[in-house]
């Protein structure tokens, strides 16, 4: 008992000194990186670390920001709100100046309050929940990805203006992301007199089959399904619809615009529409960023890599422009000064959304997603 307590104390003291040690390590600019770096959602968080590492290496080689070197503080939040608050307090107590993250909307919301109280600007490459910027609760929050309602707007406009549909079913996976998106889609459709929502329900993710829901969609007479959620469920639903010989149009979101979807659903994926970030593959900075990743890690970059790359550039550029790490000056610089990033030239509006970052509609043609112009 006593021995164990002793060991614990030693460990605790060592950790405390380590924390104190990093805090005293003179005047570097501290860029925090937070997100899921372990667990089942790690694949969404790790590309952000790599992006930050590459940007920081680049900037430090050029002499740093304001003549100071940039130091990375990487912390895991496993995408869980309760862990994210620990992560945030850890970063704050280590004296972080700006934070790149968090990745999941729920974790971001939980952590933001802590950053707000400590006057630290936060920029997420991936948290798309509309309330983050629209509620006005978080003046310290910015993001380099468009919010879910923009995506829902695009899906609905596409269905009504381009496809000229009249009866639409809205489906979601009951998750934070999927349900939020589906609610916006439903609200937009209900406001528009041209179409009606004939069906609105949530499915249970991970279920072994969705035939009952598919039957119900068939019975509802919908011409198209707008689905909010991720690709594993989307591929099951599309496959079951096509096997039941339904040619209902399937429109979905960023979570489905993933090559795994096409690999799983195979021939049934043909013709599926999905929204995704605008194609920037012709942007020279994006090409350079992707090349740098391939050179450093020997593989193609993962999810939200370019968004994270742009966010890191935007944050460090704002500190440079502001001339200090002062909260008011940095946020002001983010809102007023344009910055050249792999996503194009961006600036942030009063709510924290990036101006000039948006979505386009893609369609699966011959086994690949093609951007529709």
Where residue 44 falls (left for φ over 0; alpha for ψ -120 to 50; beta otherwise) is: alpha
Q: Which of 47, 101, 121, 175 binds another protein (CB under 8 A)?
A: 175
Establish if 283 lies at the interface with another protein (CB under 8 A).
Answer: no
Q: How far is the CB of 254 from another protein (least distance, A)?
A: 16
Looking up tokens 């009504």 gives 160
Q: Which of 149, 183, 320, 353 binds another protein (CB under 8 A)?
A: 183
Establish if 119 lies at the interface with another protein (CB under 8 A).
Answer: no
SS3 of residue 301 by DSSP: coil
**Exposure string (b/e) for 326-364, b if CB count within 10 Å is 16 or more?**
ebeebbebbbeeebebbbbebebeebbbbeebbbebbeb
Establish if 62 lies at the interface with another protein (CB under 8 A).
Answer: no
Q: What is the DSSP string of 172-234?
A: E-SSHHHHHHHHHHHHHHHH-TT-EEEEEEE--TT-S--HHHHHHHHHHT-SEEEEES-HHHH
Our CA angle for 285, 288, 292, nearest 5°, is 140
What is the phi/psi pair of residue 182, to 5°?
-65, -35
Establish if 64 lies at the interface with another protein (CB under 8 A).
Answer: no
Stretch that binds another protein, among 34-42, 65-73, 188-196, 347-355 (CB under 8 A): 34-42
Q: How far is the CB of 310 from another protein (least distance, A)?
A: 25
Establish if 24 lies at the interface with another protein (CB under 8 A).
Answer: no
CB distance 204 to 210 below 8 Å: no
Establish if 1 lies at the interface with another protein (CB under 8 A).
Answer: yes
| 93 Cβ contact partners less than 8 Å away, ≥ 6 residues apart | 19, 23
* Nearest to 147, CA basis, from 113, 183, 112, 111: 183
208-267 residues near another protein, rule: CB under 8 A: 208-209, 211-213, 215-216, 219, 231-232, 235-236, 239, 243-245, 259-260, 263-266
Q: Which of 7, 204, 281, 324 binds another protein (CB under 8 A)?
A: 204
Q: Which of 64, 113, 139, 358 binds another protein (CB under 8 A)?
A: 113
Give the span between the Cα atoms of 316 and 235, in whole angstroms.
40
Cβ proximity to another protein, 83 vs 330, nearer residue: 83
83-102 residues near another protein, rule: CB under 8 A: 85-86, 89-90, 92-93
Stretch that binds another protein, among 151-159, 176-184, 320-328, 358-366 (CB under 8 A): 176-184
Stretch that binds another protein, among 35-43, 48-56, 57-65, 345-353 (CB under 8 A): 35-43
Cβ proximity to another protein, 127 vs 343, nearer residue: 127
Cβ proximity to another protein, 197 vs 339, nearer residue: 197
Stretch that binds another protein, among 8-16, 161-169, 248-256, 277-285 (CB under 8 A): 8-16
Size of the site for another protein (CB under 8 A): 76
Instruction: Enter the tokens of residue 72.
Output: 């990375």
CB distance 109 to 84 below 8 Å: no
Kind of pairing, strands 344-348 and 339-341? Answer: antiparallel
């Amino acid at each position: 008992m006593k021995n164990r307590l002793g060991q614990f104390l030693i460990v605790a003291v060592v950790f405390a000194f380590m924390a104190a040690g990093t805090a005293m390590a003179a005047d570097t600019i501290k860029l925090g990186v937070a997100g899921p770096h372990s667990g089942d959602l790690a694949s969404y968080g790790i590309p952000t670390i790599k992006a930050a590492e590459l940007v920081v290496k680049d900037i430090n080689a050029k002499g740093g920001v304001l003549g100071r070197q940039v130091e990375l503080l990487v912390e895991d939040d496993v995408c869980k709100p309760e862990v994210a608050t620990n992560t945030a307090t850890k970063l704050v107590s280590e004296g972080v100046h700006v934070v790149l993250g968090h990745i999941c909307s729920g974790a971001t919301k939980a952590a933001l309050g802590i950053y707000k109280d400590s006057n630290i600007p936060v920029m997420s490459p991936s948290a798309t929940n509309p309330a983050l910027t629209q509620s006005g609760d978080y003046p310290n929050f910015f993001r380099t990805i468009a919010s879910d309602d923009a995506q829902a707007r695009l899906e609905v406009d596409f269905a009504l203006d381009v496809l000229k549909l009249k009866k639409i079913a809205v489906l979601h996976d009951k998750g934070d992301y999927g349900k939020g998106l589906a609610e916006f889609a439903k609200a937009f459709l209900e406001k528009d007199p041209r179409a009606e929502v004939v069906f609105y329900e949530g499915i249970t993710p991970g279920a072994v089959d969705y035939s009952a829901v598919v039957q119900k969609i068939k019975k509802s007479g919908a011409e198209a399904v707008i689905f909010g959620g991720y690709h594993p469920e989307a591929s099951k639903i599309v496959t079951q619809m096509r096997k039941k010989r339904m040619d209902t149009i399937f429109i979905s979101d960023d979570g489905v615009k993933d090559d795994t979807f096409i690999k799983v659903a195979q021939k049934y994926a043909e013709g599926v529409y999905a929204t995704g970030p605008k194609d920037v593959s012709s942007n020279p900075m994006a090409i350079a960023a992707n090349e740098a990743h391939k050179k450093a890690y020997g593989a193609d970059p993962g999810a939200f890599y370019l968004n994270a790359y742009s966010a890191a550039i935007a944050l460090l550029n704002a500190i440079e422009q502001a001339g200090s790490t002062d909260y008011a000056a940095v946020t002001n610089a983010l809102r007023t000064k344009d910055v050249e990033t792999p996503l194009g030239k961006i600036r942030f509006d009063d709510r924290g959304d990036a101006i000039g970052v948006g979505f386009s509609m893609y369609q699966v043609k011959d086994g690949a997603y093609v951007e529709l112009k």
